[in-house]
Amino acid sequence: MRTILYYVEQIPNYPAHYHTVTAQVISAVVFILLLVLLVKIFTYICNKYLSRLVKFIKAERWFNALSEKRFFTALGIVIAAMAAIDFHPIFISEQVDWIATFMGKLTGVFVLLSFSYLGFTFLNTLDKLYGRNPKVPIKGLVQVFKIILFLATALFLISILMGRKPLYIITGLSALAAVFSLIFKDPILGFAASIQLTTNNLIKIGDWITVDSAGADGNILDISLTSVRVQNFDMTIVSVPTYDLISKPFKNWSGMYEAKARRIQRSILIDVDTVKFLDEEMLARLKKIELLKDYLEGKEKEIADYNQKHNVHENVINGRHLTNLGTFRHYAEEYLKSRPFITQADPSFTLMVRQLPPNAQGIPLEIYCFTNTTVWTQYESYQSDIFDHLFSVLPEFGLYAYQQPSGRNLSKLAK
């Protein structure tokens, strides 16, 4: 500083009362040029040599992400900013208040923005590496930290420019809390929802989810702070607000894939008028079916012993008798057990054929089982094979599926 002032004083015909100001301005310009030079030097060193350290420890993925997001450049700027703090007293003195104040604020802003830039590049790196991680998608959390970092930077920036403590700024902004809460309503709700979704592992990228209220039925493409993008199976893309996945019901099919099994739950509506007891002719015919032979012989003996013990007379209403619907239900269970694609090893995968409460369309006979595949096309093929067979064998049991009359049926009646 003294050297610059000395040379300024040697300028001929230059007013003496401008010497100090001119020297300060020249010192400030030199300080800025030095800072620019330091930025170039340290960013070069960080990009060329510090990056080699990351390569040396065989962190290839980290190196590529850090380089792409300019983390090493940001680190070099931060080092230059720290050096600027040390050089500031050498070049900037308090002799001219307005220059000292201006350069002090300028240096403070530069240091603040350099650290903020470093923070953003690091968050971008995390987003690059783990933002689409199927297990723990952190994109929403990264966006939350970006908002926090942005707000903190803005707060300290205002504090530096106004020459006030951050607490004073916060107190002043508290009156605008209602306005901010309205403006940032979606990010605030998304922030709370993202934390719950991530910490509770409710969804992850690649999951198949169904959100009826949003018309979403497909795989998750992206999870951000305010929305979850879902690609439906018709290749359309739906954006579901993150908060909706907390406030409204949705279905996540990931458990199905983890279990490697998918449920079949579908009913056959049996015409009530076709339900009856088995007569001798039908019983003899059904005994020829391999899946029913042992069952019918055992049941026939069991029922005969019971009726004899209780002295049941010839009236079919008295005692116990086999029905065609009960026999078909057992056949359907045995048929399911005989299929290699039906899971039976784990008792948690229930296999049963049951009657549901009758309704105006007949008696629903529900098939409930699990296939050993989650591949959609295979699952649908297996399910179709099961019901193709069951519909085909219904007449063998004297049963018919309910079907509402159509024009074809009515035309036959007319004849």
Q: Is residue 219 part of a domain?
A: no
Of 247, 257, 277, which Cα lies nearest the Cα of 373?
257
Q: Is residue 146 part of a domain?
A: no
User: Residue 378's Cα: distance from chain center in Å?
Assistant: 26
Q: Are 357 and 351 in contact (CB under 8 A)?
A: no
Same domain flag for 264 and 126 = no
| Among 101, 130, 159, residue at a domain's last position | 130
Same domain flag for 412 and 303 = no
Same domain flag for 9 and 75 = yes
- pLDDT at position 14 is 46
Give the number of domains in the chain.
3
Q: Is residue 44 part of a domain?
A: yes
124-153 per-position pLDDT tens digit = 887 777 766 656 556 667 777 887 888 788
DSSP state of 358: P
Same domain flag for 365 and 316 = no
Same domain flag for 265 and 414 = yes
Same domain flag for 33 and 111 = yes
Distance spanning both ends of the chain, measured CA to CA: 117
Instruction: For tokens 């009856």, name the residue.
Output: 276
CA angle centred on 341, ends 337 and 346, rounded to 5°? 65
> Which of the residues in the chain have pLDDT under 70?
1-28, 51-52, 54-60, 86-101, 103, 131-140, 163-164, 166-184, 186, 198-200, 312-316, 406-415
Same domain flag for 271 and 409 = yes
Same domain flag for 268 and 392 = yes
Same domain flag for 409 and 287 = no
Phi, psi of 345 (to 5 degrees): -65, -40
Cα–Cα distances in angstroms (integers) from residue 406 to residues 241, 394, 409, 410, in the given order = 45, 21, 5, 6
Percent of the chain clearing pLDDT 90 (strictly above):
23
Amino acid (1-letter code) at residue 410 = L
Same domain flag for 314 and 327 = no
Coil, strand or helix at 255? helix
Q: What sign for the dihedral angle of Cα 369, 374, 379, 380?
A: positive
As given in the structure block, the two tokens for residue 373 are 């595949």
Distance CA 349, CA 346 (A): 6
Q: Is residue 54 part of a domain?
A: yes
| H or E, element range at 365 | strand 363-371
Same domain flag for 314 and 373 = no
Write out the residue range of the structural domain in which residue 395 sits: 260-276+323-415
